[in-house]
Amino acid sequence: MTSPPDTDALFAAALAVRDRAYVPYSGFAVGAAILGADGAIYSGCNVENAAYPEGTCAEAGAIAAMVAAGETRIAAVLVVADSAHPISPCGGCRQKLAEFAPDDAPVILAGLAGPQVRTTVGALLPAGFAAGHMEGV
């Protein structure tokens, strides 16, 4: 990142897609918006399932939308939920984000009133497993 992401646009996109979350089991709606390196915003919501482990997180949906559009480089991410403490990506989603993001990519954690915490992909997943570990195998 050479300049801060347009947080307002990311927040608006994440908030809008959160309204479409399919959450009949938890009732906990999450929205995620990714700023691609191409400058476009890709959004996703959580989609739950009666077979609980088959549900998918908002971040996974946003990543799928980004890849489906032909972009594979994450410049920034914003996640929003109605939570007393700002929501933070789950462990699996940290790994999913790290696949497409540099360590210094901003991750903005937001409540309904707006962004609350700014961290990075690398800070959320220190010493993560990556493709480089398989080099030479």
Contacts to ligand THU from residues 116-135, by CB under 6 A: none
- Phi/psi of residue 70, each to 5°? 100, 5
Orientation angle between helical segments 91-100 and 58-68, nearest 10 degrees: 20
- Report helix, strand or coil for 74: strand
Judged by beta carbon, residue 38 or residue 99, the one nearer ligand THU is 99
Residue from 55, 86, 111, 122 in contact with ligand THU (CB under 6 A)? 55
41 and 34 in contact (C-beta within 8 Å)?
Answer: yes
Concerning whether 59 is annotated as a catalytic residue, the answer is yes
Residue 26 sits in the site that holds ligand THU (CB under 6 A): yes
Cα–chain center distance at 13: 12
Residue reference for tokens 């400058």 = 39
Residue 15 sits in the site that holds ligand THU (CB under 6 A): no
**Which residues of this chain interact with ligand THU, rule CB under 6 A?**
23, 26, 28, 30, 46, 48, 55, 57-59, 79, 87, 89-90, 93
Active site residues: 59
